[in-house]
Amino acid sequence: MFAHESVNRLAETLSDFISRDFNHPCIVAWVPLNESWGVPRVYADKRQQAAARALYHLCKALDGTRLVSSNDGWEQVTTDIFALHDYSAGGEELALHFSDRERLEKLGCVGRLAFADSETPTGNEAFMVTEYGGIAFEEGNEETWGYHNKVKDEEAFFARYAAVTGAILDIPYCQGYCYTQLTDVQQETNGLLTPAREPKVDAARFNSLTRNPLGRG
């Protein structure tokens, strides 16, 4: 729920996060909002847009060394990263979504617009697919899930992974991507590792496909 108090608490908590963690070298960006959580009508609501911009500038004021993704996933306002989430199951579908950056900026993908209605992208934002994949294995537990159908074995996993990752690496304007996800988390069994950090797939093969999928030079 968006309210005066929620804005105050989010700004205070964000400030505390940055004060605590800004010296960690593994942090490359701050993400104050994700998928419009807490600002559900940010696309058209001026107050929610103002709150998102304020959080962006708060990050910049407290740490001017890192990029900021203001509302990662869609419906972004002022941002350093044009970050979209796309869990398409196939490479052809994903490639179609990202075939034209100008169209993407206006229309977005997967049913959500890329930018809020009052926001005009500068064209200088780094484009990234910051969530994709989410492939889970069949394990006989219907309560666990991943995106789309679960795969039966490692070969099926790599076939799907190569297709979607290859499509992303073929996007000429893409400057980064982030696979979902590193480890299983509760009912989300779409991790590359189990909760005990045991690999589910061959790490060397995964690395090869990620760095140079399908023989790309």
Confidence of residue 141 (pLDDT cuts 50, 70, 90): confident
pLDDT tens digits, 78-135? 999 999 999 999 999 999 999 999 999 998 988 899 999 989 999 899 999 999 999 9
Number of structural domains in the chain: 2
Considering the domain architecture, whether residues 90 and 132 belong to the same structural domain is answered as yes
Considering the domain architecture, whether residues 61 and 120 belong to the same structural domain is answered as no
Of the three residues 32, 51, 79, the one that is the final residue of a domain is 79
Considering the domain architecture, whether residues 75 and 106 belong to the same structural domain is answered as no
Of the three residues 52, 79, 106, the one that is the final residue of a domain is 79
**Which region, left, alpha or beta, applies to residue 138 given φ > 0 means left and ψ of -120 to 50 means alpha?**
beta
Compute the C-alpha angle 173/176/177, nearest 5°: 120
